């Protein structure tokens, strides 16, 4: 994978900017299948066309001199949700609140948290690490699950379970979920129509 990453970094010098998004393997079966075909040197399935590009198809992004690659600007920004600050301070610097009750809670709860690449994760009861996100990010996740392209207007407990299974956690998940489902026009319509299947 490191070789592929180096190749991508080299190609991206020809672009003014690019963004890397994480896509779960379950949501990316087509690309996963193609990568396995390429690495396994298996025969190409029927109705799949293969073209070997011997010359790079990416031209330079500099309009004055298209043959010169533009060096990319690298910017990394990590947004830390406010509710995670006490846990991060305790895990990194052993700093605690002056409030004795709050300090004991942080010490007790911090056992299930860990820091990976500067980001706080919580180990669930099943052993899966869940990324700690802000309340705004959590609401966006719930909205996508509930109302997105593949949304199905699920009940509140089902929505939270799906968000947590996807590897996200935040403190106000239950309240945010109840509010989202309670204000959803589609859910209210189905609730008032006894003969319409949901």
- Work out the average pLDDT over 22-46: 71
In this predicted structure, what is the pLDDT of residue 76? 45
In this predicted structure, what is the pLDDT of residue 107? 92
Nearest to 13 by CA among 79, 61, 76, 67: 61
Nearest to 18 by CA among 93, 74, 64: 74
Q: Where are the alpha helices (DSSP H) in 52-134?
A: 85-93, 100-109
In this predicted structure, what is the pLDDT of residue 166? 83
Letter string b/e over residues 43-57, b meaning 16 or more CB atoms within 10 A of that residue's CB: eeeeeeeeeeeeeee
In this predicted structure, what is the pLDDT of residue 108? 92
- Work out the average pLDDT over 157-175: 85
Tokens of 150: 């593949």
Nearest to 119 by CA among 132, 138, 129: 132
Nearest to 81 by CA among 140, 134, 138: 134
- In this prediction the pTM is 0.50
C-alpha span between 105 and 152 (Å, rounded): 37
Over the stretch 167-182, which tens digit does the pLDDT of each residue have? Answer: 888 888 888 888 887 7
CA atoms within 13 A on the CB side of 79: 6
Domains of the chain in start order, with CATH, are: 1-74 (no CATH), 82-192 (1.10.340.70)
């Amino acid at each position: 994978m490191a070789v592929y990453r180096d190749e991508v970094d080299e190609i991206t010098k020809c672009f003014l900017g690019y963004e890397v998004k994480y896509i779960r393997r379950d949501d990316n079966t087509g690309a996963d299948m193609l990568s396995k075909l390429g690495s396994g040197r298996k025969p190409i399935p029927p109705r799949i066309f293969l073209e070997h590009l011997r010359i790079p198809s990416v031209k330079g992004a500099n309009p004055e001199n298209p043959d010169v690659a533009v060096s990319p600007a690298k910017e990394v920004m990590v947004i830390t949700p406010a509710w995670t600050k006490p846990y991060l301070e305790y895990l990194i610097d052993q700093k605690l609140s002056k409030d004795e009750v709050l300090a004991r809670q942080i010490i007790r709860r911090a056992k299930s948290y860990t820091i990976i690449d500067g980001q706080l994760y919580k180990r669930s009861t099943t052993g899966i690490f869940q990324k700690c996100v802000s309340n705004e990010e959590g609401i966006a996740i719930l909205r996508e699950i509930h109302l997105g392209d593949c949304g199905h207007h699920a009940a509140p407990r089902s929505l939270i379970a799906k968000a947590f299974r996807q590897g996200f956690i935040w403190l106000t998940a239950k309240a945010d979920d109840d509010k989202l489902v309670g204000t959803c026009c589609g859910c209210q319509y189905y609730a008032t129509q006894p003969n319409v299947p949901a």
